[in-house]
Structure 1
Amino acid sequence: MTTCVSRRAAISIAGVLAAAGALGLTGCGSTAEDRSDGPATVTSIDGQQIRLPAPGEPTAVFFFSVGCGECATGMHALGQAAADSNGTRTRFLAVDMDPGESTQTIRIFMQDIRAEHVPVAIDKDAAISRRYGVAALSTAIVVDAHGKVTFRATDPDAATITAQLDKAGV
């Protein structure tokens, strides 16, 4: 399968990956506790303030780019897990790793994959990616209420995300 990515998106993504590599971040075994001294607040493209870690609630976070063809599957799974968790004490966040993508483009992408109910933040300075040691698109993590990453995978399905959120909430 061939994935088309704009030159601008490829350059932005390469910059994020290079910055993560320069800091010695890896995709395995990293936690927010390794690189942070407390909670952080991010702002979604809709202006919603989202605290990571969320007090008393595990959070599923998916890192993507609209230009990443494979990311649609993982993002759809996150959206399905969010819809299935209605009423539970869990949170969801999608993080766009390409700072050049417009909010309008992101909204269209989220609608197309039926995940428009998931809050999205743009990782303009790669702070979220660095915080959680994410250097690859299509990465999903589950963060417990204390900021520890308890799960990390590429494109997990909705059932796996939900099961990992349940584990992290214990």
Structure 2
Amino acid sequence: MTYPRSRRSLSIPRPRHLASALFLAAVMALTTACASSPSGPSAAPGGSSPDAAGAVAVTVSDIDGTTRTIPDGKPAALFFFSVGCGECVEGADSLNKASTALGSSADYLLVDVDPREPKETINGFRDYIKAPELPAVIDTGATLTTRYKVTSMSTLVVVDAKGDVTFRATDPSAEKIQEELTKAGAQ
């Protein structure tokens, strides 16, 4: 399978686009419903939500079986994608370049928002962007998508060591990712 670098060369069937759009719409509806619920212990001390300051860490298993915690004592860059998203190739490639430049001073994670895409397909995507070692998770249950309020594919989120979101953009360059991770505490 090939992964085109631009929408113009994208040859993905429309049903796949529709399914991805419907999935994201469902995630957004769930996020809105959960966020507007007046009951439950959603407020942290001082009246702020857990996402506002000092967010609780999220632990996930990547497709290689490694347990990952975000944040894990250092900044992290999470790129939300789907293999069927042609525009996501450049953003994932930028994340890979940033990870090469900054190394272990930050964590990096590809987050596949389509729970139907198998591990082998994601590995093919990582191979295509020449980043087979870049950690990837399948966001089954939309845990990370909901936590970081992601509403579209090709979104990059930077969180600092406390878990606060410090940057959010669509397809930023590798240089911009490096800059924002450095601002968030990467060295």
TM-score over 0.5 (shorter chain): yes
C-alpha change, 1:46 and 1:10, in structure 2 (3 Å) is farther
Q: How does 1:20-169 map to 2 (within 5 A)?
A: 20-24=28-32, 33-34=51-52, 38-55=56-73, 57-86=74-103, 88-169=104-185
Contact 1:81–1:161 (Cα < 8 Å) also in 2: yes
Where structure 1 has 5 or more consecutive residues not aligned to the other structure, the ranges are: 26-30
Name the aligned partner's letter for residue 75 of structure 1.
A
Name the aligned partner's letter for residue 72 of structure 1.
V
CA shift for structure 1 position 117: 1.8
Per the alignment, residue 3 of structure 2 pairs with none
Show CA shifts across 1:5-56 (max 9, x none). 563564254223323234327xxxxx9624996111011000111101121x
Q: Over aligned residue pairs, what C-alpha RMSD do you find?
A: 2.3
Aligned residues: 163
**Counterparts of 1:10 and 1:46, CA distance in 2:** 29
Where structure 2 has 5 or more consecutive residues not aligned to the other structure, the ranges are: 1-6, 36-48
**The residue matched to 1:125 in structure 2 has which SS?**
helix
Q: TM-score, normalised by structure 1?
A: 0.86
Larger RCO (alpha carbons 8 Å, 6+ apart): 1
User: Which is greater in Rg?
Assistant: 2
Moved beyond 4 Å, runs of 4+ = 34-37
Q: TM-score, normalised by structure 2?
A: 0.79
